[in-house]
């Protein structure tokens, strides 16, 4: 009996959102994971913006950081788990906390470095995009590697990216790299939907005193410079790191807490930005 054909690829994905940063160490992957979960959990509230069916928002999460995949660990997926293969070449996404997920980390071990040149890494990304059975998704969140290299160009060339979210911390050095990331997306004609300012305030675990240890207002300043928006700010809180290390991201481990609420605000602002970007009509010029 012939095998039933299974449709893979991105053709049923409504929005593709790249979560990027100009440099490493700003919490980009943590933001991508918790943002994807916030979108999924609050999908029913966002139905009008996303066009999602009643009952929620179908969200996928793609780990495009080929050289440093961290999503399996942050989602609590065991090292032995691999995506199921159907029809010899199509991957079934690995389910994690209600998300459909795919990562090169599922195909290697934690101790296996990806010693690949740029074209090989780009090819791996294209395979994960095109050979994964994503099905109908409202949003596919793509966790990008830091910087402005081959993977960013491959994604912009091979997929119809709806927009990018740039993650930064408030200090001037990080903001310099955030600007480079924004300029890169402009060059490849991917709209920047907004800025997420991570580690904006340190909250003392003993007395709850707050202090802007990395400076303040930097995210809003960059957003204003580039005519985009500040989607939200997140505190420097060790619980975000601890829950990520445990494989239980804080949006689900403390769903009613203040930090989870910050991610929910960012998710809502992102969906509003996507809706506004979608309804903008092209300018039609008619000449005699």
pLDDT tens for residues 15-48?
999 999 988 889 999 999 999 999 999 864 444 4
What domains can be seen in the chain, in order of their start residue? 22-276 (3.40.50.300)
Q: What is the pLDDT of residue 6?
A: 66
Beta strands in the chain (DSSP E): 13-20, 59-63, 84-86, 90-92, 94-96, 99-103, 137-143, 163-168, 192-197, 202-203, 210-211, 230-233
Q: What is the pLDDT of residue 283?
A: 42
Q: What is the pLDDT of residue 202?
A: 74
Q: Does 234 have pLDDT greater than 70?
A: yes
> For the chain, what percent of residues have pLDDT higher than 90?
63
CB 167 within 8 A of CB 26: yes
Q: Does 282 have pLDDT greater than 60?
A: no
Q: Rounded to an integer, what distance in angstroms lies between the CA atom of residue 75 and that of residue 77?
A: 6
Query: What average pLDDT score do residues 185-202 get?
Result: 92
Which positions ≥6 away from 245 have C-beta within 8 Å? Answer: 73, 74
At residue 2 the predicted structure's pLDDT band, cuts being 50, 70 and 90, is very low
At residue 5 the predicted structure's pLDDT band, cuts being 50, 70 and 90, is low
Given 3-state DSSP classes, what are the helix, strand and coil percentages for the chain, each rounded to the nearest 5? 35, 20, 45
pLDDT tens for residues 157-179?
999 999 999 999 888 888 899 99
Q: How far is CA 245 from CA 158, 249, 250, 266, in A?
A: 32, 8, 10, 22
Q: What is the pLDDT of residue 288?
A: 41
Half-sphere exposure of 253 (CA within 13 A, CB side): 18
pLDDT tens for residues 103-144?
999 988 766 666 777 788 899 999 999 999 999 999 999 999
Q: Does 286 have pLDDT greater than 70?
A: no
Q: What is the pLDDT of residue 215?
A: 67
**Judging by DSSP bridges, how do beta strands 137-143 and 202-203 pair with one another?**
unpaired
Q: Does 252 have pLDDT greater than 90?
A: yes
On average, the pLDDT of the chain sits at 86
At residue 8 the predicted structure's pLDDT band, cuts being 50, 70 and 90, is confident
Q: Does 153 have pLDDT greater than 60?
A: yes
* Residue that is written with structure tokens 């793509």 in the block: 142
Q: Does 207 have pLDDT greater than 70?
A: yes
Q: Rounded to an integer, what distance in angstroms lies between the CA atom of residue 90 and that of residue 34?
A: 27
Q: What is the pLDDT of residue 218?
A: 83
Q: What is the pLDDT of residue 50?
A: 45
């Amino acid at each position: 009996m012939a095998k039933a054909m299974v449709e893979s690829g991105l053709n049923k994905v409504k929005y593709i959102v790249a979560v990027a940063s100009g440099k490493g160490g700003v919490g980009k992957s943590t933001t991508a994971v918790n943002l994807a979960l916030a979108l999924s959990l609050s999908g029913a509230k966002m139905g009008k913006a996303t066009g999602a069916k009643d009952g929620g928002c179908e969200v996928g999460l793609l780990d495009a950081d080929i050289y440093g995949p961290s999503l399996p660990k942050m989602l609590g997926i065991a090292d032995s788990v691999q995506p199921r293969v159907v029809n010899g070449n199509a991957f079934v996404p690995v389910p994690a906390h209600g998300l459909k997920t795919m990562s090169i980390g599922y195909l290697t071990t934690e101790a296996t470095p990806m010693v690949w040149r740029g074209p090989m890494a780009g090819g791996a990304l294209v395979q994960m995009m095109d050979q994964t059975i994503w099905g109908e998704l409202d949003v596919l969140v793509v966790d990008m590697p830091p910087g402005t290299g081959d993977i960013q160009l491959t994604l912009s060339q091979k997929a119809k990216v709806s927009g990018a979210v740039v993650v930064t911390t408030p200090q001037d050095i990080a903001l310099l790299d955030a600007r480079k990331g924004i300029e890169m997306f402009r060059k490849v004609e991917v709209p920047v939907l907004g800025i997420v300012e991570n580690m904006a305030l340190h909250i003392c675990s003993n007395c709850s005193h707050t202090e802007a240890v990395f400076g303040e207002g930097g995210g809003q300043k960059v957003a204003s410079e580039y005519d985009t928006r500040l989607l939200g700010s997140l505190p420097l809180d060790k619980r975000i790191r601890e829950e990520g290390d445990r494989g239980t991201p804080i949006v689900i481990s403390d769903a009613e807490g203040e930090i989870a609420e910050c991610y929910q605000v960012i998710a809502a602002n992102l969906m509003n930005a996507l809706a506004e970007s979608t309804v903008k009509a092209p300018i039609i010029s008619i000449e005699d």
